[in-house]
Every structure is written in C-alpha cells, then in structure tokens.
Structure 1
C-alpha cells in the first residue's frame, strides 16, 4: 500500500476516552475529495477578472510554507492562474473575509472578493471548527 502513488497516511486525534475523533492531521498534501467538491461547487477562479470555473484546488497559505490542507485554506483557481501565482515575485494574500490581494512582480495590486453566492460554511463545518478550536485550547 505504501508504494502506491495514491496511498497516504493520516493521523486522527481522539478525546481522552479514545472514542470521539477531535482532530485530524492537516499535513496531507492533496485535499480530500469532499473538500475539492465543495470548492469547485462554490468558487470561480480567485484571480481578479478571471471568470473561469475552478479547475485546480490550491492552498491559500502554500503547503510548503506550512499551510494546512483544510477547507479554510483551500481556494479554487484555473490551471494557468495556479501556475502563475507560483512564479517568482507573484504573491497572493487572503484576509479573514476571503478577499484576495494579488501582487504582481511590478508591485501592482489587484483585489478580488469571494464570488457572490459562494456557499457559506455549513452547520457541520461550523460545528467542526468549534470542536477544533476547543480542542486546541
């Protein structure tokens, strides 16, 4: 199993009683399919003026920089913009409201907001987020 290209290992953390899962290790590189489906359903490409549907799911805070593989750190991009933002001297920052600021190599900045009608977090997502916050305190 470990030699397969599609295999992965992920840690699950439980409450003291060992019966309730309280957290999962976010260090997995690929987003789980359920997260990828949510991002594709809710997002258009994150670059300003690009109206492409999401084709690739990417980390807002890059995985190589310690970004977690979670819905909160997922964004949808078209293929060309995903490659573009990885090139030298480009930078993309996202604030807590989902507003993204793209900074070009020349220092120009362009802002994009989440698309209208983007799905708000579900009741389950909010519940899981609260459980994670409680478990980390």
Structure 2
C-alpha cells in the first residue's frame, strides 16, 4: 500500500470544476458578470440589482441575456463531451457535483473507490479538453 487513504480522491474535483467555471465567467464583461452573480448566485431580483447598480431593469435583463448566451456558447462542447461519457461515468460526475465523496459514490453505484477515481479522472480530462477547444 502506498500510504494513501482509500477514500482520498486522486482528483481535486471541486477545485477543478470551479476553476473551469471561473475561467468561463472571467470572459464576461465586468458589469455583465456582476449582474449574473447577483441574480444567479446571490438570488437578487432584477429590481434589486438595478437599484444597486443604478441602471434600469431592462439593462439588467440585457446583461443576463448576454451572460446566458455566453454560457450556452461555451458550454456546448462541454455538454457534448458529457453526453459522450458512458452512463456510469455520467452518474459518477453528477454525484460528485452534488457533493458526494468518492467512497459514497462507490457505495451508491456498487463500484470500487478506485473505479470511481479512474472514471472521474477520465471524465475530467474529456471535459477539460472540450472546454479548452
């Protein structure tokens, strides 16, 4: 044994997923990013955002449409790469994104922790390649 805990993930999944999202979102203009985060992350209404930024609600809607179009455009290869994964690897990734640890994913899907780690690593590579095209 190499001294590594069986349940210790070999892939820093959460950090990788957030890094990909940050890289995508950094490409948005600052005001559009502020509007998107305020609405989708902080849960603020368009009226609240408009008041905070000193802009009209129609401008908030414009920024949200711009952000969503950007995400749809850059997310297309990512969605296609995810769809190309085998169904078990898709389940592994979805459970990981929901916050389950590798040992819990393995237990739920009837896999070994090593198989979960291997599938997750291969999926992350495929998704990263798709996202960087």
- What's the TM-score once normalised by structure 2's chain length? 0.31
Bigger Rg over Cα: 2
Name which structure has the greater RCO, CA cutoff 8 Å, separation 6+: 2
Structure number with higher helix proportion: 2
